[in-house]
Amino acid sequence: MRYVVILEEGENSFGAYVPDLPGCVAVAETKTEVLKLITDAIEFHLEGLREDKKSIPKPLSSSEYVEVYATA
């Protein structure tokens, strides 16, 4: 499965979350590290759902970039 991961860059760290898996989040000092941690978090999250005999959410989120032009 492929889930959309939202990355947010802060002053000193990166955050990541998965819109289709509420509560599935990660924080790290680098983008590379946060991507590794969110991948692990997704796997752990899905494993927990399986153990609890809950359904695995289908990846429904998507992302697009929208270009806007600011005027002064």
For 9-65, write each residue's pLDDT tens digit: 999 999 999 999 999 999 999 999 999 999 999 999 999 999 999 999 999 999 999
pTM given for the model: 0.88
Q: How many CA atoms lie within 13 A of 33 on its CB side?
A: 8
Name every residue whose Cβ is closer than 8 Å to that of residue 62 and which is 6 or more positions away in sequence.
4
| Domain ranges (residues) in the chain | 6-51
pLDDT for position 72: 72
- 49: helix, coil or strand? helix
